[in-house]
Amino acid sequence: MGRPLLRLEQTEDYEPIVKLFMDNDLEFSDEDPVPTDLVQCWRVVHGEEKHLCGAVALAKREGEFIIDGIAVEKIYRKTGIGRIMMNKAIEKVRELGGTKLFLVARAPGFFRTLGFETVDRNDAPLFFECATCPQYGVDCHPEVMKLEVR
């Protein structure tokens, strides 16, 4: 019996994940970092060579759980990888006693299928970098979303 082609695994190797996020148009800046406590990262790898297909980073900011980044390489999209990674992150929040999970979504439709709801900007925590980004509302129109974790 052969090994599975795709595998979800926990990882401490954050640098390749950040590169994946940046290669998939998520914005990360080393210039003005926001205080973030990384909780856990997972990656999905392909084959024996462990090609990085997707990754998600769960973090805490100001006491709230957030998805600090999630990306899936284009050729692996629509395969369920994003859903599997998000379910793992939600499971971890639940395990740690969290009741809410926030994220900034460039693909809000996907996150709605997982139960996330858009939060009005005025009701959203102010700890997301995009609130001060010059591209926000110009070339980039993300939505702050929240999931009530049960």
DSSP for 120-133, please give it.
-GGGS-S--GGGG-
Q: Please count the residues of the chain.
A: 150
| pLDDT class of 39 with cuts at 50, 70, 90 | very high
Count CB-CB contacts under 10 A for residue 58. 26
Q: Residue 65: beta bridge partners?
A: 60, 101
Instruction: Delimit the domains of the chain by residue range.
Output: 6-148
Does CATH number 3.40.630.30 belong to domain 6-148?
Answer: yes
**Which pair of tokens denotes residue 150?**
């049960």
Residue 118 has a pLDDT of 93
How far apart CA 35 and CA 4 sit, in angstroms, is: 37
Res. 132 pLDDT band, cuts 50 70 90: low
Residue 92 phi, psi dihedral angles, 5° rounding: -65, -40
- Whether pLDDT at 33 is above 70: no
Q: What is the pLDDT of residues 83-119, one digit of tens each?
A: 999 999 999 999 999 999 999 888 899 999 999 999 9
